[in-house]
Amino acid sequence: MLTEQTGYKVDVMPDGRMKVHEMTYFFEDGIEVSQSHGAYAELTGTDIPAQIAEAFLALPDQAAAAVEAAAKAALEAEKAQAIIDSLPSWQAVSDAIDAAFTNVGQRKIIKKMARVLYWLAKGTEE
């Protein structure tokens, strides 16, 4: 099955100019079979990062969407890390459950459920 993916490529020229190309890559069964160049912007001067940002804004809406998606992904990763950083250790959670539930059967069920929630929040088994 043929699929396509749009991306961007930055070429640095020997004289220091940079070109940002909009690229379309075509894949068949996960293997790149061809690519095509779309719009491009040429960058010169010393303020290259600002020019790259301007070039992305000048390219079609897909570039703006790609930048927006990257910003959202970075924000989500930051939020996830903040949750992980604020979680207590599993031992602290286990001790709190032990103190709250004196019935062994209840404690066992609550610890199993809490362990699953803890793993989901942390993103890894501990």
pTM of the shown model: 0.41
CA 23 to chain centre: 21
β-strands 18-28, 31-43 pairing: antiparallel
Q: Kindly report the length of the chain.
A: 126
Q: What is the mean pLDDT of residues 70-97?
A: 84
pLDDT bin (cut points 50, 70, 90) of residue 81 is confident
pLDDT: which is higher, 111 or 125: 111
Give the residue from 57, 58, 68, 7 showing the smallest Cα distance to 32: 7
34 touches 5 (CB < 8 A): no
